[in-house]
Amino acid sequence: MAQLLDGTSPETRPGPARILDVAELASVSVATVSRVLNGDSRVNHELRERVLASASQLGYRPNRLARNLRRRQMDVIGIVVPDIENPHFAAMVRVVEAIALGLGHRVLVCNTDEDGDRQAACLQMLADERVSGIVLSPSGPDGGIDHLRDLAIPVVTIERALRNGPADAVVADNVAAVRAATRRLIDAGHTNIAFVGGYSRVNAISMRQRGYLTAIEEAGLAPVLIGGQFLCDPAEVAVTALLRAKRPASALVVANNLMALGAIRAVRRAGLRIPGDVAVIAVDDPPWAELLDPPLTVLAQPIHAMATRAVEFIVRRLGGDQSPPVHDVFPLKLIVRRSCGTGHLP
């Protein structure tokens, strides 16, 4: 009798049609409408047709806000990255968005600026929103992960495993790759090789630093670590200072593409040439790497494959998989161009 108690007819009622309006027009209950709309199979064919017709006649669109409350979940995947202007993370967001869309999910993006507090705030916010899952590219400490597990929100980290919050992780083999790249410079005769990175101990950059240090130590050389805050301009400043030192480096291992830009600019402005005066190898293979002069030798990350795998993990957990967290490791690929000055080596 709800229909009759509702004094307003569908035509006069303002605003978007509700499920009740569809039910009335089709002369069925709201439960039946809901079943049809959610693909519940056990509903009479004729009723289904009536419901569908009414819904389309009214231009009915389910109110997701109500749906979310009832189901205690938004169909949204959160993605937390240090900086979406970094082409590396932009590619990640792109892949996650494309796949999420296919799963009927939206994507909420958060930038952390490599700030642990902001990361924690983002995670808290995404928890408050009851997102379905989170893809996290960690920067800073592992704040807030426990809270997410309490809410049964699956988290997958990309680029770095979490310490105290076991979660699936998709990581690149940074240590081995950077070690090999550094080794290559050493084999080419360089004895003063600097590493351009942040000073972070919490993300992929630190793994790259470890790879660099390993190679340097193995060769009995002295390490030179300089900052860069993961960004272009700070890296330029740091490299400029380095090049003015008494014994400037003859080779640079740069920990990401943004800092590579800054480092190269610094070398140019110092009037030095690449690779003649300074050899350069950088991590990340942005589209412009091969167009620089000289083309940049890089360690390319299979970012699309990694992001895809990350979403697969989320989907698996959403499907109820309770098995222990997995760490998937992807290899980096060395692409030798001219900036490292060792193109003639194997």
Binding region for a second copy (CB under 8 A) = 16, 61-66, 68-69, 72-74, 76, 83-85, 87, 90-91, 93-94, 97-98, 106-111, 124-125, 127-130, 151, 232, 258, 261, 264-265, 268, 286-288, 290-293
Q: Which is nearer to a second copy, 129 or 328 (CB)?
A: 129
Min. distance of Cβ 88 from a second copy in angstroms? 10
Question: Is there binding between residue 47 and DNA (CB under 7 A)?
Answer: yes
Residue 125: CB atoms within 10 Å: 15
Min. distance of Cβ 123 from a second copy in angstroms? 12
Question: Is there binding between residue 30 and DNA (CB under 7 A)?
Answer: yes
- What radius of gyration, in Å, describes the C-alpha atoms of the chain? 27
**Spatial separation of the C-alpha atoms in residues 203 and 171, rounded to whole Å:** 10
**CA-CA distances (angstroms) from residue 242 to 142, 195, 252, 336?**
33, 11, 10, 25
Member of 25, 28, 127, 340 binding DNA (CB under 7 A): 28
Q: Which is nearer to DNA, 67 or 316 (CB)?
A: 67
DSSP letter string, 150-193: HTT--EEEESS--SSS--EEEEE-HHHHHHHHHHHHHHTT---E
Closest of 260, 256, 182 to residue 221, by C-alpha: 182
Total chain residues near DNA (CB under 7 A): 31
User: What does the CA dihedral 280, 281, 286, 291 come to, rounded to 10 degrees?
Assistant: 40
Member of 4, 9, 42, 346 binding DNA (CB under 7 A): 42
Question: Is there binding between residue 15 and DNA (CB under 7 A)?
Answer: yes
With CB under 5 to 8 Å by kind, the binding choice for 273 among DNA, a second copy, none is: none
Q: Are 155 and 215 in contact (CB under 8 A)?
A: no
CA 75 remoteness from chain centre: 18
Binding residues for DNA (CB under 7 A):
1-2, 15, 18-20, 27-32, 34-35, 37-38, 42-44, 46-47, 60, 62-63, 65-67, 69-72
